[in-house]
Amino acid sequence: MARKKVQASRSRATARSAGASKPRARKTPSTRSGAARRTPGRLTGVRKPPEAAADASPGAALVDTLDATIKSLADRFATLRAAAFQQGGAAGQQRFDQVFDGLRASYNALLKQDLARNDQRYRDLAAATTRAGDDLTKAIKSMADVVAIIDLGARVTSLIGNIMSLVTVRQPLRLVSMSNPVVPVPKSVFEGLEAAPVRRVTRGGQGTPATESSRALQHLVVKGRRATPLRRPGGGALESIIDIDDRVRILETDLPPWRMICALRLRGPFGSGAIGTGWMIGPKTVLTAGHCVYSTQFFGGWATEIEISAGRNGDVFPFDTVKSRRFSSVNLWVEQEDPDFDIGCIHLDDPLGERVGWFSVAALGATELEDFLVNVAGYPGDRGGGTELYHHRNRVLSVTERRIFYDVDTFGGQSGAPVWIHEQDDAPPLAIGIHAYGVGANPPGMSLRANSAPRIIPEVLDQIEAWVNEDGGWPTT
């Protein structure tokens, strides 16, 4: 038995040795599969087929990120909502619901838009939103502080709103200046052509030199930008006083910029009266809300007479009172009472602005306005009956195509007040909107608890310039 094994082993070795002297044919995949072997031919270079081009638009990455954010939120919604209640009570839970209901609604609206654009402004905004969405997703998955999660949710919602204002197809505007029939004023017609406005700013006026600087300007007015609000809105009824009333009375109304803001007494054709706020935009021109000069509710049409008291301080009138019976608005307010165009103008015979000065007015893009701290000052009815000037400040919460939203306390009578910013600490006031509405007038589907102003967009700035020119224009020097 042992001999047979040795012989078998020798036979196998001999076979291996014989096989080594004859090269073994290399089998190709086709040979192994039983297919006929191909005869080698002329070799040519073969290029790898091009891969499908990656989506050049940042919209795909944005949607993927927000999908993940919404899914993470859905997975942990009940736990986060309970944490919001534990940390902030009913008000905290209410804010949680408002922010994340708004986020879902904004995202659903975004999905209906064409996100395939590729311009730099869109890319930058989409990239910022994608980063914020990633941060929110990570915070949700790690169950970070619920207040921080809510703040991130509000920021993502605001950024989506800015994208919506950019990608939504905008129909050309046709605004027409319309004036009360006391003195006919030539109509000014213009078309809205720019979805992304180029920065435009009118020149402000200083008025007569002040003997001192305002301490309220130094200590109360906010300047520059801020990534988070000065306060977080709490719960409560849908009122224009949001959470705690933080308005502060201004006593230095004879100093700039406060003296450029005017208390208005409005009179209708049947003796009806109301109060409002206006502000100087030129030597003889006051800007205010449209419903302060034309209102079917208050006056049944045009106001008949308005008293203008620049810098009024209770019973003190540092610049006297002037009257006007010449007013203007735009067709989209007079004919439709469209809240996005609640803009009015009062024409003066007296060059009041030469004494008190006037605001610079700016048409800025939505992304330029992001995170700016804003100031609003006017003459409310609940404090002083429209005779005392009150100021409050906070951060821009959201910007849409034609409105600005902010967590700033206001009350009836402050309609028409200037909404202004200071771009740097030493920069002059720059008006960007006309305050007109409280929380109850926010567009349907908007969950933000914020007051709002029609934005100064290029079409509105065109009309403002036309109104000032009707009154003699700005000084050339």
Active site residues: 291, 415
**Beta strand spans in 226-293 (E):** 248-249, 261-267, 273-282, 285-288
Compute φ and ψ for 281, nearest 5 degrees: -120, 0
User: How far apart, in whole angstroms, are the C-alpha atoms of residue 436 and residue 414?
Assistant: 8
Compute φ and ψ for 397, nearest 5 degrees: -90, -40
User: How far apart, in whole angstroms, are the C-alpha atoms of residue 406 and residue 425?
Assistant: 21
Residue that has been written with the tokens 């129909």 in this structure: 171
Structure tokens at 151: 């703040």
User: How far apart, in whole angstroms, are the C-alpha atoms of residue 128 and residue 476?
Assistant: 42
Indicate if the alpha-carbon torsion angle 131, 133, 138, 144 is positive or negative.
positive
Strands 285-288 and 273-282: antiparallel
Q: Using alpha carbons only, what angle is made at residue 273 by residues 269 and 276, rounded to the nearest 5 degrees?
A: 120
> H or E stretch including 399?
strand 390-399
With contact defined as beta carbons under 8 Å apart, do 248 and 391 qualify?
A: yes
Cα dist from 117 to 63, 132, 218, 329, 361, whole Å: 14, 20, 44, 36, 31
With contact defined as beta carbons under 8 Å apart, do 437 and 200 qualify?
A: no
160 CA to centre of own chain:
10
Strands 360-363 and 430-434: parallel
Structure tokens at 63: 């949607």
Query: How many Cβ atoms from other residues are within 10 Å of residue 57's Cβ?
Result: 17
Residue that has been written with the tokens 């940042």 in this structure: 58
Nearest to 437 by CA among 424, 455, 425: 455
Nearest to 232 by CA among 92, 22, 338: 92
Nearest to 115 by CA among 158, 61, 76: 61
Instruction: Spell 226-239 as b/e; 16+ CB within 10 A means b.
Output: eeebeebbbeeeeb
Burial, 220: exposed, middle or buried (Cβ in 10 Å; 0-12, 13-18, 19+)? Answer: middle
